[in-house]
Structure 1
Amino acid sequence: MSFNTVVVALFLAVPAFYLYHRITSSETTSASTSSMDSSKSDDEKPKTIMQPARIDLDPPKDDPFTVEQLKEFDGSNAEKPVYVAIKGTVFDVTRKRETYGQGGSYNIFAGKDASRALGMSSLKQEDAVSDYSTLSEGDMKTLNDWYSFFEKRYNILGRVIDLPPPAVSANL
């Protein structure tokens, strides 16, 4: 074998070996990664902060609540459930008391209809009111998304009967 033949053979063999190595190592890595993922217990898998939709919800109720009655369910009394109203619909959020109950990050929404604050993604007390008539189109979408989120995760108990109806907004 001549020197030139060896150089040409190496010149062709090195890229071929590199490609072969890349292909086989990526197949091995993805196979071992997927087998590692499937072997993890539920406790070891990454957790999401988003709650999945519930399939065990009760049929919606249509019980009347006054604004005064709703205030009793603000999470300040551990003996009582926690309710949040959105667009006049009352949801039972008791199973997430740590979030909506006293001291929870979203307690501002408990015991009232705070539709405006939800639409604005606001945690300000002055925004936690039922009148959402002045929300922008984008904020209305946010409010409707929140309503849909609650509707799929919490039992509907009824409606707030003495809320003023939202005024019709010109920008909606």
Structure 2
Amino acid sequence: MASPQEAAVPPPAEVMTIASPINLILISLFAVLVYLQFRPKALIALPKGPAPIVFRTFTPTTLLEFNGVDGKSVYLAVRGRVFDVSPGRNFYGPGGPYANFAGRDASRGLACQSFDEEMLTKDLKGPLDDLKDLDAEAIENLQSWEERFLEKYLIVGKLVAEGDPEAPRL
């Protein structure tokens, strides 16, 4: 009679072990794919934003440079408040329908619903337009424009006359 060890039948040749070459290749390929999926990614560089806007005091001559030319910001003043209207560059920037107000005090023109050049203060070194000669309808127009600007744009400063004690020293 045969011993139990002799009676053990060797496994058939078709049965493969886990350490076969094809399994090792598949496990290696799986490990590489997992690494590629979870490896640290390169840091994404965000584009630089615009420079921070600081509330400041403007005079008519210092406001004039913010007319949107050469990619600069577009500011305009309404009743002493300076608004950054750069998001509306198509309207207030160069070539826009309200471009003559860019970098200027637009109060009188907006009140009179006139976008003509003669609505702008010619003497930038003189006193600010006090708007006292406007009638009730013009004041109402101006208030409606001012409300619209307050809803849409940031106030970045205030406008004072050249000789004002708050005027920036150059």
* 1:1-172 matches, cutoff 5 A: 62-78=55-71, 80-129=72-121, 131=129, 132-162=131-161
Q: CA deviation at 1:124?
A: 1.0
Larger radius of gyration: 2
TM-score, structure 2 length as denominator? 0.57
TM-score, structure 1 length as denominator? 0.56
Alpha-carbon RMSD = 2.1
Q: Distance in 1 between matches of 2:150 and 2:137?
A: 20
Segments of structure 2 that go 5 or more residues without pairing to the other structure are 1-52, 122-127, 165-170
Higher relative helix content: 1
Segments of structure 1 that go 5 or more residues without pairing to the other structure are 1-59, 166-172
Q: CA deviation at 1:128?
A: 2.3
Q: CA deviation at 1:113?
A: 0.5
How many residues are paired up? Answer: 105
1:63/1:158 contact within 8 Å kept = yes
Query: Given residue 149 of structure 1, which amino acid in structure 2 is its aligned partner?
Result: R
Query: Given residue 76 of structure 1, which amino acid in structure 2 is its aligned partner?
Result: V
